[in-house]
């Protein structure tokens, strides 16, 4: 039986089967191991891990702990309730209308970010002119229809993760912030903060930054210096907004004080820093990396909601969910009828009833895709409901290929 327990309840003889810290570039070479000595437990606690999963078939039990499935069901029910009481931000243009423009913006921004950060790695001064224009383009696309650019930013090349991650965090931060503070200057500033939040990684040795596996303790210590390195780089810029520096300096801080570099907690972390921490982890979880495959967006949201007991502000996580939906655009979902569909648009009045594109039927297999508005009753273009999300990789389906076309 798999159980979820607090790290304070760990004992020698227990078998850890999941460290439950996918968001952390931790130095543990394995996520499944038998606890043989107290120093292993001390190391887990020292890295800020609050809960782990144990396999009671392979080691000692913790009788009072809930099972992992019980915890997952509880969190999913809470998320559904949260979504039921939330409304989405209405789109200004349709996804199909924005897709071509967003694709161009993404391609051009990728080149600009790569050139800008590569220059820093080569010892050149940070130049923001081209990046400034790129942020304006990204913000414009997000305000018209965030689903287009946010979906494109999930199409990842794991070999260029660092550069594409910057675009993803920038777009997510702009989308996150527009619900609370739609001021154009603030949106541009947080977008720039997202683009530059990892600029300090350009001072990290390449063999550590792109290592195809978990980092050693020594390598992890070096990796963590990228935050202070980023602050130093940004502080050399005479006109840089303090918000940009706060985002770069605080995106690894955690609400319970377990983050770095300052170990700040709660309101000691700026609001923009707390927002950056959430989107940085979400983007990392949904991305393919050299040592793990990205998870489905809905699963990543469930994890972040679960971790908001410790690491993130739960009210801010609720706001984040409102901005992208419990089933983000591009999510593969299973309907109560058994059909598979891809989420293409959110209903502004209910996050649980988005517009979807039905792509497969269990009785007929692949089919000519068609639009279904789940907010409408049967006979009016609706008549179905989402019963859960699906892992496209497991089914051999890339939902992003179906968003605005039919891959055939």
Give, for all 408 residues of the chain, the pLDDT tens digit.
999 999 999 999 999 999 887 656 555 657 789 999 999 999 888 888 899 999 999 999 999 999 999 998 898 888 888 777 766 677 889 898 999 999 999 999 999 999 999 999 999 989 899 999 999 999 999 999 999 999 998 876 666 788 899 999 999 999 999 987 789 999 999 999 999 999 999 999 999 988 877 788 899 899 999 999 999 999 999 889 999 999 999 999 999 999 999 999 999 999 999 999 999 999 999 887 766 678 889 999 999 999 999 999 999 999 999 899 889 999 999 999 999 999 999 876 788 889 999 998 877 766 788 899 998 876 555 678 999 888 888 888 888 888 876 654
Alpha-carbon span 268 to 306, nearest angstrom: 22
pLDDT (tens digit per residue) in 366-387: 678 889 999 887 655 567 899 9
Determine the pLDDT at residue 194: 98
Distance of CA 397 to the CA centre of its chain: 20
Neighbours of 387 (CB within 10 A): 11
Q: Which domains does the chain have, with CATH numbers?
A: 2-66 (3.90.105), 95-324 (1.10.3210.10), 332-402 (no CATH)
Alpha-carbon span 201 to 208, nearest angstrom: 10
DSSP 150-176: HHHTTS--GGGHHHHHHHHHHHHHHHH
Nearest CA-CA partner of 290 in 172, 156, 169, 107: 156
Burial of 228: CB neighbours in 10 Å, binned 0-12, 13-18, 19+: middle
What region, left, alpha or beta, does residue 159 occupy, with left being phi > 0 and alpha being psi -120 to 50 degrees? alpha
Alpha-carbon span 147 to 331, nearest angstrom: 11
Q: Are 41 and 9 in contact (CB under 8 A)?
A: no
Per DSSP bridges, beta strands 365-373 and 386-389 are: unpaired
SS3 string of 295-316?
Answer: CCHHHHHHHHHHHCCCCCCHHH
**pTM, whole model, 2 decimals?**
0.91
Nearest CA-CA partner of 261 in 39, 48, 42: 48
Alpha-carbon span 125 to 119, nearest angstrom: 7
């Amino acid at each position: 039986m798999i159980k979820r327990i607090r790290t304070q309840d760990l004992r020698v003889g227990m078998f850890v089967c999941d460290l439950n810290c996918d968001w952390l570039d931790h130095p543990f070479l394995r996520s499944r191991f038998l606890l043989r000595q107290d120093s292993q437990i001390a190391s887990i606690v020292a890295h800020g891990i609050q809960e782990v999963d144990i396999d009671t078939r392979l080691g000692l039990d913790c009788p009072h702990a809930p099972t992992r499935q019980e915890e997952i069901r509880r969190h999913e029910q809470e998320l559904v309730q949260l979504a039921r009481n939330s409304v989405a931000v209405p789109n200004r243009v349709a996804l199909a209308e924005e897709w071509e423009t967003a694709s161009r913006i993404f391609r051009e921004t990728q080149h600009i970010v790569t050139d800008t950060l590569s220059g820093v790695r080569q010892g050149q001064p940070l130049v923001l002119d081209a990046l400034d224009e790129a942020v304006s383009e990204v913000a414009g696309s997000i305000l018209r229809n965030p689903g287009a650019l946010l979906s494109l930013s999930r199409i990842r090349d794991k070999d260029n993760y660092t550069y594409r991650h910057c675009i993803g965090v920038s777009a997510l931060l702009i989308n996150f912030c527009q619900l609370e503070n739609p001021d154009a200057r603030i949106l541009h500033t947080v977008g720039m903060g997202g683009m530059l939040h990892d600029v300090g990684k350009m001072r990290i040795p390449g063999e550590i930054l792109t290592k195809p596996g978990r980092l050693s303790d020594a390598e992890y210590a070096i990796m963590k210096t990228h935050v202070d390195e980023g602050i130093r780089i940004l502080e050399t810029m005479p006109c840089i907004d303090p918000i940009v520096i706060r985002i770069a300096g605080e995106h690894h801080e955690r609400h319970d004080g377990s983050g770095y570099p300052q170990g700040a907690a709660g309101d000691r972390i700026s609001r923009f820093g707390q927002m950056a921490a959430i989107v940085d982890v979400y983007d990392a979880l949904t991305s393919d990396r050299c040592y793990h495959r990205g998870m489905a967006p809905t699963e990543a949201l469930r994890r972040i909601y679960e971790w908001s007991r410790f690491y993130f502000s739960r009210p801010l996580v609720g706001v984040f969910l409102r901005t992208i939906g419990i089933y983000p655009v591009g999510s593969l979902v299973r309907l109560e009828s058994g059909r598979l569909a891809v989420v293409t648009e959110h209903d502004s009045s209910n996050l649980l009833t988005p517009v979807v594109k039905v792509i497969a039927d269990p009785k007929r297999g692949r089919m000519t895709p068609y639009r279904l508005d789940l907010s409408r009753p049967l006979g009016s273009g609706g008549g179905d409901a989402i019963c859960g999300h699906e892992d496209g990789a497991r089914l051999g389906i890339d939902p992003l290929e179906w968003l605005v076309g039919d891959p055939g």
